[in-house]
Amino acid sequence: MEKRRIGRTALEVTEVSFGGAALGGLYRACSREAAMETLQGAWDAGLRYFDTAPFYGFGLSERRFGDFLRYKPRDSYVLSTKVGRLFRPVPDDQVPDHSYVDPLPFALDYDYSYDGIMRSVEFSYARLGLNRIDILFVHDIGAYTHGIEKTKLHFRDLMDGGLKALEELKRTGVISAYGLGVNEVQICLDVMRRAPLDCILLASRYSLLDRSAEAELLPLCGAQQTSLVIGGVFNSGILATGPVQGAHFDYRPASHD
């Protein structure tokens, strides 16, 4: 499979990648056996770029990716995960519902500060059981997740300290690249006008149903040499399933329209 370079870095990824939300039980349960078989199928097909996040199953997806990749030659694949959410153990009846079936028993807090980013990376290493993460994405910062007022606070934390943590991690070789992992265009524009990014994992905003990234974001990424990793290419389901009963669009049940 052909590869493409991430931004101005030396890091290259296969042009098709594997996203790990479903391995964390998004919308339906996913057994460990099914997760391992699916990852092996992706590997056999030539995919060598794997993306996960603490949010996917509240740590479950990271654990499964780590179990699968632990015995693969380390330089044979690229791994990205995400920062911005920290998890704490809670009783089973207090696990929040974020559309994950059978997640691990944790609740989450958002933290985009310097310390929050550093803690998130440490926790990810522990869940993965690996000694290297190639790309870190700041996860779900923006009004789509937080609303306008809370986004202002999180944006300030990222600008005042979170980006400094990411740059420090990259400069010291802990990671090779960093960027945003989001579902909206505006926050990408806001961050890029303040700070350069290696890459953006943009979900659902550059697809057959949603072209909102075209007007401003794609030209800006071209000008700044910021790579776009296009996620959510099926708009969370409906472009794969068609307009069937229970189809999802934009992470919600699809409307009649």
- For residues 248 and 27, the answer to whether their CB atoms sit within 8 Å is yes
Which of these is catalytic: 49, 56, 144, 251? 56
Catalytic (active site) residue 257:
no
Q: For residue 194, give the 3-state DSSP assignment.
A: coil
Which of these is catalytic: 49, 77, 82, 178? 82
The single-letter DSSP state of residue 237 is: G
For 67, what's the count of Cα atoms within 13 Å in the CB-facing half-sphere? 14
Which of these is catalytic: 49, 51, 157, 178? 51
- For residues 7 and 198, the answer to whether their CB atoms sit within 8 Å is yes
Residue 216 Cα to chain centre, angstroms:
22
Instruction: Give the Cα separation of 147 and 23 in Å (integer).
Output: 28
Tokens 């791994």, residue located: 79
Instruction: Give the Cα separation of 84 and 103 in Å (integer).
Output: 18
Catalytic (active site) residue 210:
no
| Per-position DSSP letters for 99-128, written without gaps between them | SBSS--SEEEEE--SHHHHHHHHHHHHHHH
Cβ-proximal residues to 31 (8 Å cutoff; 6+ apart), any chain = none
Catalytic (active site) residue 82:
yes
What the block records as the tokens of 84 is 């911005």
Q: List, by residue number, the catalytic residues.
A: 51, 56, 82
